[in-house]
Amino acid sequence: MNHLPIFLNMHGAHAVVVGGGEVALRKIRILREAGAQVTVIAPELCAGLSALKEAGGIAHVARSFDPLDVAGARIVIAATSNGRVNKHVSEAATAAHIPVNVVDHPALCTFIMPSIIDRSPVLVAVSSGGASPVLARLLRVRLETMIGSAYGQLAHFMARRRTQVRQHIPRPDARRRFWERILQGPVAELLLGGRTEEAEGLFAQELASPRADDTLGLVSLVGAGPGDPDLLTLRALRLMQEADVIVYDRLVAPPILALCRKDAERIDVGKSAGRHAVPQENINQLLVDLAAAGKRVVRLKGGDPFVFGRGGEEIDTLVEAGIPFQVVPGITAALGCAAYGDLPLTHREYAQSCVFVAGHCQNDGSSVNWAALAQPHQTLVFYMGVAAVATISRELIRHGLPPTTPAALVERGTTPQQRVLTSTLSDLPDVVSRQSITPPTLVIIGEVVRLHDRWAGRTHASASALRAAG
């Protein structure tokens, strides 16, 4: 280890920064966040530092550096573009036994400034020991995605309850196990999801009757998005990497499953149209049983759990059984396919509304309000509509939409196999059979489809679409 990592208390302490440019400003911002009183030594200040001085945020000594300037400082930072001045500052501070950092000159430093993840009171510092600040920054970005912004609230929540827990559970080993259970169980998860009241209720319950070894289970209904793993939310990814069990659907793509915790149990309850691999009631009961056994369950669903995802039914059962749960939204197929298929669903020149419709209607179309759908200036997105495309086309035309209305089929949207085919409303059934369209496919009907054809070949494809194009 080349350095000793420590966290320095700078509240009210004096910090001297030599240099008045943008680099100095960046360091000064961090010093001020840590509560330091900052004096800047520089003949001139950049606009940002001048504004800070005006606002009373720094003291400014408008001249060149003098070795006596370091007197009384807890730390000194040199951030000038002049190597001779930087060296001078380093020598003066070192002679006075004051820690000094010279930006981008590890050899002149007695301390280095790490990249930080600030979830105060939780702080994570990353350093490459000066070997590669860019590597440290990239690592920080990775950690940022793992340590969600609510970790600070979680730490405050725990801090406020420490005395109470100490009184309630006097034995240190039992107390440690209690805290581990809380931090790895639903209380922490509910807090991270912003459901503070429920977390408080559950915490009180746990404290009133602490259980021996087992943790309370939790079911997270997680939207996995339409296929491209890059479209997962940060929370989805974290939960997938912490889960004990993953219960997943047919629509969840293998590259997404590959991101789940390696040793998590995986249960495939996949359904395809008309063929229910596991009946919905059995899935509901499975979730209850797993959580009751203390497991952290991730119920992974394609798209968003609440958009034609039967998430509501699963939650009904969890509520009845008293199982804690949370829902993590995902990007629904309509939004993913629209973005990757160049179909701006509500372009203001073409559509003022957009309706998501479950397309697995009866052959006679009697279950759908076609008159409400067959409106001008409206985009229609049919989920599960491929099998019923003849009915959809026939009924929309019968209720007033012109047969020439543009229509698109997006097959396996956002994945490397994505296909977008455009046609007219009257020709849709033909295209489906001629092109052997298979699920999952979205049917999008409305004038906005013209933009796909107009933009064809001229848009900047997303990374995944580029991959799809080979």
Active site residues: 249, 271
Cite the DSSP H helix spans in 185-306.
Answer: 186-192, 196-208, 234-242, 254-257, 280-292
Q: Whole-angstrom Cα distance, residue 172 to residue 197?
A: 27
Binding residues for ligand SAM, total number by CB under 6 A:
23
Looking up tokens 């995986």 gives: 266
Regarding 227 and contact with ligand SAM (CB under 6 A), the answer is yes
Max Cα-Cα span within the chain: 90
Minimum CB separation of residue 107 from ligand SAM in Å reads 54
Q: CA–CA separation, 166 vs 176, rounded Å?
A: 10
d(C-alpha 440, C-alpha 13), whole Å: 61
Give the interface segment with ligand SAM, choosing from 115-123, 124-132, 141-149, 434-442 (CB under 6 A).
Answer: 434-442
Select the residue interacting with ligand SAM from 88, 441, 446, 449 (CB under 6 A): 441
- Pattern of binders to ligand SAM over 241-270, x per CB under 6 A? ----------x-------------------
354-392 burial: b if 16+ Cβ within 10 Å, else e: bbbbebbbeeebeebebeebbbeebbbbbbbbbbbbebb
Q: Burial letters for 109-144: b for 16+ Cβ neighbours within 10 Å, e otherwise?
A: bbebbbbbbebeeeebebbbeeeebeebeebbeeeb
Nearer Cβ to ligand SAM (180/268): 268
The one among 19, 20, 193, 302 contacting ligand SAM by CB under 6 A = 302
* Of 110-118, 347-355, 433-441, 453-461: span binding ligand SAM (CB under 6 A): 433-441
Q: Which position's Cβ is nearest ligand SAM?
A: 303
232 binds ligand SAM (CB under 6 A): no
- As given in the structure block, the two tokens for residue 130 are 């000066």
Query: Which tokens sit at 90?
Result: 């380093």
In SS3 terms, 81-134 reads as CCHHHHHHHHHHHHHCCCCEEECCCHHHCCCCCCEEEEECCEEEEECCCCCCHH
Nearer to ligand SAM, 193 or 226 (CB): 226
Least Cβ distance, residue 440 to ligand SAM (angstroms): 3
Is 93 or 409 the residue whose CB approaches ligand SAM more closely?
409
* Interaction between residue 414 and ligand SAM (CB under 6 A): yes
Nearer to ligand SAM, 307 or 389 (CB): 307
| CA dist., res. 51 & res. 224, Å (int) | 45
- x-or-dash pattern for ligand SAM, window 272-301, by CB under 6 A? -----------------------------x
Q: Residue 348 CB, nearest distance to ligand SAM (Å)? A: 25
Among 23, 38, 102, 410, binds ligand SAM (CB under 6 A): 410
Q: Pick the binder of ligand SAM from 75, 89, 442, 448 (CB under 6 A).
A: 442
What's the burial of 308, exposed, middle or buried (CB within 10 Å: 0-12/13-18/19+)?
buried
Q: Residue 104 or 313: which CB sits closer to ligand SAM?
A: 313
Q: What is the DSSP letter of 436?
A: T
By the criterion CB under 6 A, which residues form the site for ligand SAM? Answer: 226-227, 251, 301-304, 307-309, 332-333, 337, 383-384, 410, 412-414, 439-442
